[in-house]
Structures are given as structure tokens and as C-alpha cells.
């Protein structure tokens, strides 16, 4: 069956060379902008997407990610800029003229057609002969594991089944690019997690290029090989999930992706590769100098809660470089038990508040801290990120 | 279960009374059409006498035939035009005179019929058109297409637009997307619009009175002139027949719309 | 939005045929009404002097303009018959609309409180009488209201009255007829808004200490106002111009404007006066008509 899997020629050629930097991007977005009335929904976005990528557009609602996706699908025409697919500008092409298919947020299954006819819909439009359509539909039904439900109407399917039909329908035409608009938003948490896995597996197997729009950062992190974070119609950062999390480019991204502790302050002195930043809420913090050297001025020091360690007496010596360790004294002000981890909020003696996320590695609560207990929160300079304020 | 408890005794009573008020008069009329007695108020046993009388009344039969022809043709034209208007209003972009267009479409829904009837008659006189079947048909089409437009437009409005987008995404040009996705989904509304237009036309007295010519009276015109002279059992019989006809139309149309929504599909359990 | 525009390009062309039709058979005729309302009565066929004759050239056209007369309108204002007819039409419409609201609201409210499955049934039950002929429904009431009709028979049998009451040719009969004919038009828009309303809102109000009548008056009723507006306009406007019901059920000593217009037109063959009456009626109804249009537009074009 795997041999017969649908894959576009472009995708098939590209699978092997995805990693090579020299390869032409499958999709190139150049300075694309779109204004509705006076609202600039997308303001000059440029982005390259290589064949075989699983790319996620992540952002809060209203950030323009859906508009950008709809411009790729052809439902909106950009006011400015070009959209090149395989080197050809398709910015003004109509949706049915593009080798791109979309999986709609609410699936948009045709309620008057059966599962089979929904999947066959795009194939018929492509002028495929009857026998080929039947083969392809059967292939698709098998691919999304919907055997036996071909004759059902959409309203006789569960949410998960509908999602699969929508996926099969969009894949049936073997598009060069598959767009997924919040594809899992309508599913409950458990189903969403298993479907994430299936989507990734499918994408790898087919070697296709997926662009997914989501507001759920966990979803984006789990599935995508690269994430573009959008804010106010612009791409705020394009990076791998890891880079996005560990090296956010701005304060806003740091706060948007995951939880973070932020301390505002000014740089005081430089000590080799270390920078000392005086913060109001946490005193002087020693941080590693960022890759791009920064001058004097206002900065925020950002530390992820799981990088903050807690202990009763302070860092133990085996941590190695005691001299550079930031240690902050405080009392436990709030405890939030989450199962796998516990989040402690520590009220610092210097006035601020810091969050520490501690793995519950032991079943019994011998390591746990209690409310009002005095603790030391500590972290290394390398765990901090310095962000312009 | 919780919903049932929201229903107070007052709610039930007002519902029952309201429905009784709506149905009793018609029920009484139907029952009395089978009355053997000439006196409309005295029950003289069951009889089909007045139906015989109606079928012997040439003028009445002719009027009924005229009404049927007008109703079928005007409803058909009105459905076509009304559907086009609804599509233009709910899917078309801003076009020149859109406000005027929607204004002209919504006004006849409430406009007193005497005004519409008079104005159309004056037009026909000015055009020197021979009044009869066609003038009444045109008049009824003008009125009923507005109702069709509203019915179809509200269905179009509730239709998920991403369905049309999905069709285009899957390779349909806009016209094709409309024909293969939108049209089947609004078909029940179109059928309902036709039915509405048909019954409105069959029902109309005022506009038909203005726009018809001598010798081509519609059924309501005949009934009206009889009713003005007092109650006649024959009228009860005719009215019952009209009610029966409309009931049949409703049943056929609702069956047709059910059929069309499951057309071409192997039936799955509901 | 261009998404709509892709679809909208062809959709726009759909407007052409109905647009031309409505221009020709709805808008243009008003021009004729206006024109004839300004011309003189003549005993001929058609029974008016044509004011314009475009074939006669510019000079004739100027003469025609000079000959335009507002006599018909002057007549309408000066003759008590017409003034009374307008006043009566408005009074009847206001009274009947109030009655309809009073009767229709509880029914619509009851419908909206039914379990969902029964709501559809109730809706069909309300709509079906609307499908049966209007004239037939009035006729049904003549059956019931006549001298020896069912109503009097029941009243006599119950000894509520000692001799038959005269119902026909009275205002009571007319109001019964109007309420009966227009009830679905009042119920349906009311039901539509009431059914859309979240029952949680009423529960929240009573949870916050409002007794039932306050729940209704402070929450339910204000929220149903759009439906009330639609129902009121949907009934009021056509009732003002109603002809059949007053003609068949009310007495002939005071006429509504629809009847007057009909009389002038068919009996007196005075087309110019009838046209002028129609113009005045249209002007009287202009504000409610515009209100109704706005409501209708908002309702049908939400989400545009």
C-alpha cells in the first residue's frame, strides 16, 4: 500500500533534499499584505517554505494567520506582494486554479454528499475517469482508516471521523501544498493528541508539505518542524520549536510561548561573557551575554520556570560554578500541583515573584515544599535569556 | 427534561387557545361543506351535494382553472427570479443600485395590495396591454418573487460559506461551486418558495381584481362576488377543495424536498 | 472582502433579470400612479385625461406640465370622507396591531418554551393556516358570525344572550377577522426571537432575585423587542391598506382607505382620485415601510 501512496511529484523529488539549503523553496511568500477596510490584517509577510516541511503558523486570534492561509488558498487576494509556488506567482489565481488544498476549520463537509462523494468531489472536478476516482477514493479511505463508512453522510459521523473525511478530501487531489486551518480545534483533548501523531506520521509518509494554522502552541510545537509566530499581521519569529522556546526573540514571544519569569532591569557591568543586570524585583542577576552583543540600556531577563531550581539551603556545590549562580531567597507563596510537575510561586525577599516548575520525580511528597516555607530559588546564567525591553 | 419544566400552565393554555383559534373556523367550514341542508347553519346530515353543484358551475370551474394556471406559471417565474435575486443579494458584491434593489424586493412583502394592484393596472393600461391571464400572472410574479427571495435568502444566509470555499478549493469555478454545492443545499428553500408563491397567487383577490380583464375572473374574484351576496354552501365546498389542493401541494413539495436532499445517495439509517 | 468577491463576480449578474423585472413592474408603475393622480377625471376609457403625450413634442409637454393639477389631492384633504377614511384606517391598524401583540405574544412565548422537538411541530401548526386562502379564512368567519351562525347558537344554548347578537357588519367582526388573518405574521417573528433567547438568561434573572413578572418585564420582553418590532410592522402596514376584511366583515357606514380607493376605482371610475388616495396612503406608510426595510435587511444580511 505504501507504494501507492499519493505524493506529488514536487514533494517526491523534494523529500530527499529537504535538508539541503540550496534547494528552491516550494513556496515563497514575498512582502504579502492585506487590508480589510482600515484594518491591516497582514502587513508585509515574507517567508520561504521548503518542500516536505511541516510548517505551523502560530499566533493569537486576530494576528492575521488565517488571512495569510486564506491568501495561500486563494480565498483572499493580497493587496501587495507575491506568492510563488514552484517559482510561479499564484497570488491572483482563483482557488480552483491552484494545486493547493485546504482542510477547513469546521471541515466544511458537504452535508448532502456521502463520505465517498465528498472525497471524490475534487477528483471529479479534475476530470479523472470513473475507475481512477474509485481507486483513489478507496486509497484515501484506507489512508484515513474510514473503511465501512463510505456511504455515510457527514451528520452520521463522529467529530473525529469527520475530521478524517476532511483530511482525505483535501489529500485526494494530491496537492503540492496542504493547508490546515485549526484542524484539531473541534476535537477533545485525548483525540487531539492522538490525531496530532497521526497527522505527523501521515505527513512524513507522504512526504508532503503541510502548513497548519493554530493558536495552540503545544500543537504547533508537537507537530511542526518550523514555526512562524505571527503578531499584528507580521511574522514575529520563524524558528524551530526548540529555538522558539529557548531563544525567543522578543519579550512578547517569550510570554506567548510557554510560561516564563521576566525581570526588568538595566545592564550594570560586563564580566567576560557574563553580563550583570540590575533588576528591581530580583536584585542583580548574572546572565550569559546574548549572541548578538547588546549595549547598555533596559533589558528583561527571562527564565523558564523549569530552569529555576528550588532547594532549602541554596545550590549544592556539585552544580560546579557557584560563583556565577543566581540565588534568590524567598518564601513559598503558592503551590500548584499539576501531576507531572508542581509549580511553586516564590515570593522573593527582594520583592518580586518567581515561578519554579519542579518535576515530581518521587511518588511520596518528601521533596515537596509547603506554603510559607523559606526556600532558595537558583539558576545558572546560561538558563537566562536577555531580551530588549 | 429540564426544558419541559420551563413550560408553565399558562404557556400551555395560551398555545392551545391560540391554535384552536387558528384551526376551528377552518374545521367548521370544512364540516359544513358536507352539510346536506341548504341552510348553512342547520345540520342536515352528510352529503356531497355542494360538490356536485360546484362541478356543474361552469363559471366557477373556469375561474378555478384560470387561477390554477396563473398560480403555476407565476409561481414558476417568481421562483426563478426570486432565487436569482436572493443569490445576488446574499452572494453578490456591492453593485450599483443594490439598496434600491433590496428595497424594491422587501417593500411588496408588506405593501398594501390595493397600491400594488392599482399601480400595475395603470401600467398595463398605459402599455395598452390586453388584460387577462398574462397581466395577472405578471402581477402575481412581481408580488410573489419577493417572498421567494426572502425565503431563499434566509437559507443562503444560514449556509456555511466555507462549503462554497471548499468546493472552489477542490477545483470548482464559482459557478460550478454554486451548482454542485449551494444549489442542492438550498433546494428545499426553493421548493418552499415555489409553494408559497403558488398559494399566495391562488389566494389573491385584490391584485387580481385590478389587473384582470373582463371575462377572465380568478377563483377568489368569483368567490368574493358570491360571498358578498351571503353565505352559500357551494362556497364551503369550493373552499374545502382549495384547502385540499393546497394540502396536497404542501405534502408533495415537502416529500420532493426530502427526496432531493437524499438524492443520489444510498439511504442510510437516519 | 475578496473571498466573497471571487464568488460575487458571477453572483452579481444574477441580479439583472429580477432587477429589470422589479424596475418595470414595481417602480415604474408608481410613476404612472403619480402621473394619473395629477390628471383630470374624464368620462372615457381609460377614465382620465392623459397628462403627458411625449409624441406631441416639447411645446405640448410644457402645456401638459401647466395642466398638471393637484385638484385630486385638494379633494382628499378637503373632503371629510377621505380624511375620516385615513384616520379610521390608522385607528383600526393601531388597535388591531395591539390586539395581535397581546394575543400573539403568549402563543409565541408558549411555543418557544416547548421542548425542541415540539417547537417544530408548533411552528408548522402556526404556518399551515397561513397557507390556506386568506379569503377562505374570512369566509369561514362569516359562517360563524352570521345571524344564525355557530357563535350565536352557542351563546343562545349557554343562555349567555337571550337573542342572537348582530356580529356581522360590526367592528368586532372586523377585528376578529383581522386578528385571525394576521396572527401568524405576529407569532412567527416573535417566536423567532424568543426561541433564539438563551433560557439561562431568565434563570440568571430569577437566581438574582427577580420574581417571574420582573424576569419577564426586565429580561424576556426587552430581549424580544426586535421580534416585537418585526411583528408589529408586518401587521400594521398591510392592515392600514386592508380592503377585503373590512369590506366583508365591517359595516359600510365608515370606510377604511383601502375600501375608499377600491370604491373610487371600481364603482365611481375616478382613477385620478384613486391614484391620489394611493399616493397619500404610500406617504402615510413611508416611515413604517422604511423601518421595516431596515429590519428585514439587517435580519437577512447579517454576517455580511
CB B212 within 8 A of CB B125: no
Question: Which residues in chain C are closer than 8 Å to A36, comparing Cβ atoms?
Answer: 1
- What are the backbone dihedrals phi and psi of residue A184, each rounded to the nearest 5 degrees, phi first? -115, 5
| A104:B165 CB<8 A | yes
Question: Which grid cell sits at C150?
Answer: 355557530
Residue B88 contacts C where some CB pair is shorter than 8 Å? yes
Helices C271-284, C80-113: inter-axial angle, 10-degree rounding: 50
Q: How far is CA A328 from the centre of its chain?
A: 33
| A152:B268 CB<8 A | yes
Between the alpha carbon of residue A167 and those of residues A54, A69, A106, A160, C238, the distances in Å are: 15, 16, 12, 11, 52
Question: Which residues in chain B are closer than 8 Å to A94, comparing Cβ atoms?
Answer: 168, 173-174
Q: Could you tell me which residues of chain C have a Cβ less than 8 Å from any Cβ in chain A?
A: 1-3, 6
Strands (E), chain A: 27-36, 39-49, 54-58, 80-85, 88-89, 100-103, 177-181, 209-214, 226-231, 234-239, 261-271, 274-279, 283-288, 298-303, 309-311, 326-337, 341-348, 353-359, 374-379, 385-388
| A74:B162 CB<8 A | no
Among chain B residues, CA nearest to A154 = B268
pLDDT band at A271 (very low <50, low <70, confident <90, very high): confident
Q: pLDDT at position A294, please?
A: 66
Between the alpha carbon of residue C196 and those of residues A56, B14, C118, the distances in Å are: 38, 20, 15
Higher per-residue pLDDT: A14 or C51: C51
pTM (2 d.p.)? 0.80
Task: For chains B and C, count residue pairs whose Cβ atoms are closer than 8 Å.
Answer: 302
pLDDT in tens, chain B (270 residues): 344 446 678 888 888 888 888 888 888 888 888 888 777 667 778 888 888 888 888 888 999 999 999 999 999 999 999 999 999 888 876 777 888 898 899 888 888 999 999 999 999 988 888 889 999 999 999 999 999 999 899 889 888 888 988 999 998 888 888 899 999 999 888 988 998 899 889 889 999 999 998 888 999 999 888 888 877 788 888 888 888 888 888 788 777 766 655 543 333 222
Segment A311-324 mean pLDDT = 62
Task: Among B39, B109, B116, B122, pick the best mutation site for testing chain C contact (most C Cβ within 10 A).
Answer: B122
| pLDDT over 70 percentage in chain C | 87
Q: Give the Cα separation of B163 and B159 in Å (integer).
A: 8
Helix (H, G, I), strand (E, B) or coil at A75: coil
Task: Among B5, B19, B25, pick the best mutation site for testing chain C contact (most C Cβ within 10 A).
Answer: B25
User: C169: distance to nearest CA of chain B, Å?
Assistant: 12
Task: Among C1, C5, C9, pick the best mutation site for testing chain A contact (most A Cβ within 10 A).
Answer: C1
Q: Could you tell me which residues of chain A have a Cβ less than 8 Å from any Cβ in chain B?
A: 73-75, 94-96, 100-102, 104-106, 108-114, 117, 121-122, 125-126, 151-153, 156, 169-170, 173
Question: Which grid cell sits at C21?
Answer: 423585472
Q: pLDDT at position B159, please?
A: 86
Q: Is the pLDDT of residue A247 over 70?
A: yes
Q: Is the pLDDT of residue C92 over 80?
A: yes
Helix, strand and coil content of chain B, in percent to the nearest 5, comes to: 75, 0, 20
Q: pLDDT at position A281, please?
A: 87
Q: What is the ipTM of this complex?
A: 0.85
Residue C126 contacts B where some CB pair is shorter than 8 Å? yes
pLDDT band at A32 (very low <50, low <70, confident <90, very high): very high
CB proximity list for B87: less than 8 A, separation 6 or greater: B152, B156, B178, C11, C14
Higher per-residue pLDDT: C97 or B22: C97
Q: Give the Cα separation of C102 and C187 in Å (integer).
A: 10
Question: Which residues in chain A are closer than 8 Å to C2, comparing Cβ atoms?
Answer: 75-77
Between the alpha carbon of residue B193 and those of residues B79, B80, B151, B172, C27, the distances in Å are: 6, 10, 6, 27, 23
Residue C291 contacts B where some CB pair is shorter than 8 Å? no
Segment A281-286 mean pLDDT = 87
Q: Which chains touch B (3 or more CB pairs under 8 A)?
A: A, C
Question: Which grid cell sits at B15?
Answer: 398555545
Segment A303-324 mean pLDDT = 73
Of B20, B28, B27, the closest CA to residue C110 belongs to B20
pLDDT tens per residue, range C258-294: 898 888 888 888 888 888 888 888 888 889 988 888 8
Residue with cell 530588549: A388
User: Which DSSP symbol is given to A48?
Assistant: E
Q: Give the Cα separation of C185 and C231 in Å (integer).
A: 6
Q: pLDDT at position B6, please?
A: 61
pLDDT band at A35 (very low <50, low <70, confident <90, very high): very high
Q: pLDDT at position B12, please?
A: 82
Provide the CB-side half-sphere exposure for C10 (13 A, CA).
9
| B166:A110 CB<8 A | yes
Q: pLDDT at position B270, please?
A: 24
| pLDDT over 70 percentage in chain A | 90
Of A260, A154, A267, the closest CA to residue A217 belongs to A260
Residue B165 contacts A where some CB pair is shorter than 8 Å? yes
| pLDDT over 90 percentage in chain C | 23
Question: Which residues in chain C are closer than 8 Å to A76, comparing Cβ atoms?
Answer: 1-3
CB A146 within 8 A of CB A96: no
Q: How many residues does this entry show for chain B?
A: 270
| A94:C3 CB<8 A | no
Helices (H), C158-218: 171-196, 199-207, 212-215
CB proximity list for C221: less than 8 A, separation 6 or greater: none
Residue B179 contacts A where some CB pair is shorter than 8 Å? no
Question: Which grid cell sits at C180?
Answer: 385571525
Helices (H), A39-114: 65-73
**Strands A326-337 and A374-379, bridge-based pairing:** antiparallel
Provide the 10 A C-beta neighbour count for residue A17: 14
Q: Give the Cα separation of A160 and A157 in Å (integer).
A: 8
Q: pLDDT at position A227, please?
A: 96
Strand order, beta sheet including A80-85: A39-49, A27-36, A80-85, A88-89
Among chain B residues, CA nearest to A181 = B162
Q: pLDDT at position C8, please?
A: 61
Amino acid at each position: 500500500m505504501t507504494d501507492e501512496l499519493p505524493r506529488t511529484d514536487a514533494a517526491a523529488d523534494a523529500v530527499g533534499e529537504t535538508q539541503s539549503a540550496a534547494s528552491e523553496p516550494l513556496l515563497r511568500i514575498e512582502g504579502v499584505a492585506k487590508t480589510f477596510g482600515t484594518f491591516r490584517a497582514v502587513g508585509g509577510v515574507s517567508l520561504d517554505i521548503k518542500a516536505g516541511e511541516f510548517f505551523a503558523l502560530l499566533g493569537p486570534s486576530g494576528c492575521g494567520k488565517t488571512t495569510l492561509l486564506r491568501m495561500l488558498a486563494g480565498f483572499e487576494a493580497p493587496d501587495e506582494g507575491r506568492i510563488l509556488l514552484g517559482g510561479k506567482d499564484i497570488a491572483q489565481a482563483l482557488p480552483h486554479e491552484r494545486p493547493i488544498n485546504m482542510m477547513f476549520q469546521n471541515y466544511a463537509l458537504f452535508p448532502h454528499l456521502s463520505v465517498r462523494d465528498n472525497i471524490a468531489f475534487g477528483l471529479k472536478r479534475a476530470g479523472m475517469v470513473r475507475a481512477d476516482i474509485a481507486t483513489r477514493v478507496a486509497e484515501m479511505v484506507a489512508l484515513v482508516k474510514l473503511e465501512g463508512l463510505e456511504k455515510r453522510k457527514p451528520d452520521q459521523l463522529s467529530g473525529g471521523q469527520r475530521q478524517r473525511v476532511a483530511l482525505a478530501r483535501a489529500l485526494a487531489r494530491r496537492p503540492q501544498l496542504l493547508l490546515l486551518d485549526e484542524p484539531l480545534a473541534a476535537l477533545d483533548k485525548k483525540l487531539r493528541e492522538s490525531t496530532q501523531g497521526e497527522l505527523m506520521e501521515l505527513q512524513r509518509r507522504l512526504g508532503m508539505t503541510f502548513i497548519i494554522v493554530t493558536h495552540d502552541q503545544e500543537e504547533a510545537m508537537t507537530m511542526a518542524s518550523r514555526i512562524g509566530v505571527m503578531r499584528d499581521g507580521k511574522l514575529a519569529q520563524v524558528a524551530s520549536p526548540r529555538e522558539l522556546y529557548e531563544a525567543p526573540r522578543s519579550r512578547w514571544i517569550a510570554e506567548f510561548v510557554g510560561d516564563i519569569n521576566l525581570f526588568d532591569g538595566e545592564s550594570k557591568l560586563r564580566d567576560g561573557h557574563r553580563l550583570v543586570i540590575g533588576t528591581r524585583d530580583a536584585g542583580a542577576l548574572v546572565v550569559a551575554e546574548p549572541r548578538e552583543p547588546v549595549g547598555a540600556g533596559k533589558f528583561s531577563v527571562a527564565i523558564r520556570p523549569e530552569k529555576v531550581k528550588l532547594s532549602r539551603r541554596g545550590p549544592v556545590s556539585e552544580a560546579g560554578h557557584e560563583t556565577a549562580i543566581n540565588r534568590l531567597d524567598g518564601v513559598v507563596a503558592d503551590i500548584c500541583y499539576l501531576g507531572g510537575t508542581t509549580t511553586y510561586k516564590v515570593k522573593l525577599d527582594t520583592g518580586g515573584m518567581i515561578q519554579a516548575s519542579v518535576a515530581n520525580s518521587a511518588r511520596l511528597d518528601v521533596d515537596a515544599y509547603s506554603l510559607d516555607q523559606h526556600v532558595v530559588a537558583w539558576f545558572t546564567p546560561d538558563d537566562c535569556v536577555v531580551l530588549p525591553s | 427534561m429540564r426544558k419541559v419544566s420551563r413550560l408553565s400552565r399558562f404557556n400551555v393554555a395560551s398555545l392551545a387557545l391560540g391554535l384552536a383559534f387558528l384551526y376551528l373556523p377552518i374545521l367548521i367550514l370544512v364540516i359544513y361543506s358536507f352539510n346536506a341542508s341548504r341552510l348553512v347553519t342547520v345540520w342536515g346530515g352528510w352529503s356531497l351535494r355542494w360538490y356536485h353543484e360546484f362541478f356543474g358551475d361552469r363559471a366557477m370551474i373556469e375561474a378555478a382553472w384560470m387561477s390554477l394556471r396563473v398560480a403555476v406559471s407565476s409561481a414558476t417565474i417568481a421562483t426563478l427570479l426570486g432565487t436569482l435575486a436572493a443569490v445576488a443579494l446574499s452572494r453578490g458584491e456591492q453593485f450599483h443600485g443594490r439598496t434600491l434593489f433590496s428595497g424594491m424586493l422587501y417593500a411588496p412583502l408588506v405593501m398594501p395590495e390595493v397600491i400594488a394592484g392599482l399601480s400595475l393596472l395603470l401600467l398595463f393600461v398605459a402599455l395598452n396591454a390586453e388584460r387577462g391571464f398574462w397581466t395577472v400572472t405578471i402581477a402575481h410574479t412581481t408580488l410573489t418573487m419577493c417572498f421567494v427571495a426572502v425565503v431563499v435568502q434566509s437559507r443562503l444566509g444560514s449556509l456555511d460559506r466555507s462549503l462554497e470555499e471548499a468546493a472552489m478549493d477542490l477545483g470548482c469555478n464559482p459557478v460550478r461551486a454554486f451548482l454542485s454545492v449551494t444549489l442542492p443545499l438550498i433546494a428545499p428553500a426553493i421548493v418552499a418558495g415555489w409553494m408559497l408563491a403558488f398559494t399566495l397567487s391562488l389566494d389573491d383577490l385584490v391584485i387580481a381584481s385590478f389587473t384582470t380583464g373582463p371575462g377572465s375572473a380568478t377563483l377568489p374574484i368569483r368567490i368574493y362576488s358570491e360571498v358578498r351576496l351571503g353565505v352559500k354552501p357551494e362556497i364551503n365546498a369550493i373552499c374545502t377543495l382549495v384547502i385540499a389542493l393546497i394540502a396536497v401541494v404542501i405534502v408533495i413539495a415537502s416529500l420532493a424536498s426530502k427526496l432531493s436532499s437524499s438524492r443520489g445517495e444510498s439511504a442510510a439509517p437516519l | 472582502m475578496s473571498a466573497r468577491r471571487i464568488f460575487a463576480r458571477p453572483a452579481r449578474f444574477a441580479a439583472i433579470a429580477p432587477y429589470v423585472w422589479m424596475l418595470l413592474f414595481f417602480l415604474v408603475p408608481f410613476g404612472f400612479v403619480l402621473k394619473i393622480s395629477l390628471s383630470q377625471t374624464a368620462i372615457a376609457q381609460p377614465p382620465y385625461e392623459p397628462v403627458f403625450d411625449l409624441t406631441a413634442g416639447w411645446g405640448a409637454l410644457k402645456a401638459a406640465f401647466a395642466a398638471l393639477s393637484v385638484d385630486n389631492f385638494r379633494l382628499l384633504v378637503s373632503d371629510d370622507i377621505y380624511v375620516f377614511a385615513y384616520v379610521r384606517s390608522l385607528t383600526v391598524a393601531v388597535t388591531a396591531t395591539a390586539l395581535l401583540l397581546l394575543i400573539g405574544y403568549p402563543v409565541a412565548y408558549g411555543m418557544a418554551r416547548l421542548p425542541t422537538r415540539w417547537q417544530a411541530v408548533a411552528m408548522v401548526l402556526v404556518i399551515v393556516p397561513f397557507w390556506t386562502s386568506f379569503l377562505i379564512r374570512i369566509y369561514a368567519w362569516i359562517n360563524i358570525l352570521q345571524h344564525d351562525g355557530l357563535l350565536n347558537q352557542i351563546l343562545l344554548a349557554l343562555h349567555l344572550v337571550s337573542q342572537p347578537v348582530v356580529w356581522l357588519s360590526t367592528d368586532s367582526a372586523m377585528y376578529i377577522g383581522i386578528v385571525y388573518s394576521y396572527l401568524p405574521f405576529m407569532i412567527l417573528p416573535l417566536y423567532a426571537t424568543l426561541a433564539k433567547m438563551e433560557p439561562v438568561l431568565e434563570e440568571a434573572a430569577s437566581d438574582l432575585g427577580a420574581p417571574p413578572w420582573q424576569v419577564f418585564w426586565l429580561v424576556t420582553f426587552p430581549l424580544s423587542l426586535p421580534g416585537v418590532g418585526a411583528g408589529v410592522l408586518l401587521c400594521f402596514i398591510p392592515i392600514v391598506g386592508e380592503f377585503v376584511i373590512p369590506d366583508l366583515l365591517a359595516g359600510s357606514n365608515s370606510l377604511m382607505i383601502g375600501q375608499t380607493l377600491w370604491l373610487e376605482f371600481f364603482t365611481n371610475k375616478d382613477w385620478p382620485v384613486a391614484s391620489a388616495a394611493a399616493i397619500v396612503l404610500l406617504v402615510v406608510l413611508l416611515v413604517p415601510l422604511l423601518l421595516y426595510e431596515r429590519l428585514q435587511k439587517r435580519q437577512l444580511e447579517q454576517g455580511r
